[in-house]
Every structure is written in structure tokens, then in C-alpha cells.
Amino acid sequence: MSAIFDFELQDAGLLHRDESEDDDVIEFGTEEGDADPCEIANFYLCEITLALQHLHLQGIIYRDLKPENVLLDSEGHIKLTDFGLCKEHIQEGAVTHTFCGTIEYMAPEILTRNGHGKAVDWWSLGTLMYDMLTGLPPFTSDNRKKTIDKILRGKLILPQYLTPDAKDLLRKLLKRPVAQRLGSGSLDGEQVKAHKFFKHINWDDVISRKLEPPFKPILASEDDVSQFDKKFTASAPIDSPVECTLSESANRVFQGFTYVAPSILEDVYSQQSRYLTTVSQPRVIKARSPRKATSRGFSPRTTHLHLHNTHLPSHRHGGVGHSNMEDTEMMIEIG
């Protein structure tokens, strides 16, 4: 998911994201009739694999991969959302110990609290793949304790209808010993991409979004929210301010909590540029006498050119950083 802008009020910080269609990969994947579930899963697993690999290259562990967090955009491609459980600054070999995630999709090393790294995301990819192909995660029960016990010690049962390649990939992603798990090595996502389940995939086509999605949401317009559950769209938005206040030192952490996506800035600049190219050219008045012109408050050395663009901030493409925070605030004021 992409952030459009965020800003700080006196008592709240607000974040505006782009809109995705609220279909998760499980919800519609089971409604495709005679379509091969492995072919459908293959497409989405490709895009998710690239997303996880990209996060890992940035030193980020996702830690919350599950159907509810894999949404579709208007073209049918996936978008990961909800990065609240991410862990940053995790480089090769580093581990963290936070107990977090959704139980059914959590790796064993998170549950045992022995320290975990990027490999937890590849375990979660395996549980998601199993869910997509069978309708349920591989280890579930009627209570939390039994579910955890199955994740730590339960047998992985693979249905007979799965293809040999799908079974092999699931076994390798759902290895409890981290060192034996596919993707746990220094090659990370490259190991996963090289598996024979993806043998027909051109990864350059995946990253350039050239592959045709198996499902494309039917939308009446860009503002169509029919794909969202009505329990959300029918609810009145309610602000939920906290009842306590932060200390002055803690509040300083949120200073400058302001961001505008570069795409928004580019749109504004484009509109300004179109306006400047269509505005009428300034007239240069040639006074018959400098003295007469000066007496009317006009100098023949100047023109009446008042295009109010000198206050516009300069913007470097590639993101809004600290150095151009004033520019960002200016664009919010304009919008």
C-alpha cells in the first residue's frame, strides 16, 4: 500500500493511503470455478514473493502475512498492507525476539521466542500458499494453545490433489528448522524464485506487471467501493482521540509528522505548468515619455508581469525528505 499524505493535528496524527479493492486472495480464489487452483496461486505467490524479497533487501521483516493483508488493486495485482508489525534494520544474520503476528501464520521460532529473522516470512508464505490451495492454514485447532502445539509439533498433511511441485514447495517453506527452510539462506527470495513450482515464470514480467491477473475487479468508477464489505462502508467514521496526553519529550518524536507522496506533488506541478502555458502573454507598454510613464507609476524598464509562481517550492523527485519538509507543508496548504 502507498501513503498519499499524512499530517499532524493538535491531538492526532492522520494518515491517508491509496484505495485498493478489498478482495483478499483467498476470498475470490475459491470462486474461480474450474480454474486450476495451483495456477491461480502461482500468480499471486509470485507477486507476494517479490514483495517480501524487496522488504528483506531493505532490512525489513514483514511478520504479518495473511489473506486479510493481501489486497488487490483495480487491475487485479496484489498489494501488501498493514505494516504495523514490521521490524526494521534486520540485516543478514540478525534476529529479533518480539512475539507478534497472527497465530495460524506465525513461524515456530516466533512462538518459542528463541529469536527470529527474515525466514519467518517464508514460513508465512508457505502457510498462505497452503491456505490458498486447501481453504485453511496447515495448522489450526479450536483454541490457541492447540494451534500453537500443532505449529510446533504437528504433522504437515498435504492433500493428494496438489501437484508434486506444489507439495515440494510447501514442504520446503514449512520446515521447522530455520536453517533447512527455503529462503533462509543469504540468497533469501532468490531461493524461492528458483523453485520448480515457478519454473514457467518470467520474473521480469512479474515485476513489470506484464502477467495477466486471474481476476480483475469489476468497477463502475475509480471511486467504486462495492468490493468493500458493507459493514465498513455503511459505518459512520468516528474519531477516536486518546484521553491522555504525551509528555513533552515523547511528543517530540512526532514532530514533523508530515508527508506528501511525490505523485501528488507532480500532479500539482503539472497543473501549475498547464496554467502557466495558457496564461496570456504580458503586455509591454511602451511609454512615449519616461517622465510621463513614471508619473503614472510605471517604469519603461519593467513589465506588468505578475505570475504568482515564485513561491512554489522546488521538488526533487524520488521522495519527500527532511530537507524539503517546508515544501511539503506548502503543498498541503495549497491543496
Half-sphere exposure of 260 (CA within 13 A, CB side): 21
**Residue 149 known to be catalytic:** no
Contact 217, 74 (CB under 8 A): yes
DSSP result, 225-238: -TTS-HHHHTSPP-
Distance separating alpha carbons of residues 273 and 269, to the nearest angstrom = 6
Residue 89 CB neighbour total at 10 angstroms: 10
Question: Residue 2: is it exposed, middle or buried by C-beta count within 10 angstroms (0-12/13-18/19+)?
Answer: exposed
Residue 16 has phi, psi (to 5 degrees) of -115, 120
Q: Per the residue annotation, which of 64, 73, 121, 188 is the catalytic one? A: 64
Q: At what angle do helices 37-57 and 119-134 cross, to 10 degrees?
A: 160
Distance separating alpha carbons of residues 275 and 141, to the nearest angstrom = 62
Integer-rounded Cα radius of gyration of the chain: 27
Q: What are the catalytic residues?
A: 64
